[in-house]
Amino acid sequence: MHLILNGETIEQPRPCSLEALLRELKLKAERVATVVNDDVVPSSLRAARQVQEGDRIEILTFAGGG
């Protein structure tokens, strides 16, 4: 299954939830914001949101600093 992740095409071997994709990418779910096909997906809905062939996913990482 092909996905577009932050502008880059990636191959995902099987369907999964957005939450599972974040785990596979070794990202801390509490430190990112997620957008799928221009829709913000709150952290409370990531487990239920299944990624589909061709989905455009943006993962935004929070950065601190001054």
Query: Beta strands 2-5 and 32-36: pairing type?
Result: unpaired
The CATH number covering residue 19 comes to 3.10.20.30
Mean pLDDT along residues 23-48: 95
Enclosing domain of residue 44: 2-61
* pTM, two decimal places: 0.88
Q: Is the pLDDT of residue 31 over 80?
A: yes
Q: Is the pLDDT of residue 65 over 80?
A: no
Strand order in the sheet with 56-61: 8-11, 2-5, 56-61, 32-36, 39-41
Spell out the long-range contacts of 44-47 with Cβ–Cβ below 8 A and sequence spacing 24 or more.
46/17, 46/18, 46/19, 46/22, 47/17, 47/18, 47/19
In a domain, 26, yes or no: yes
In a domain, 21, yes or no: yes
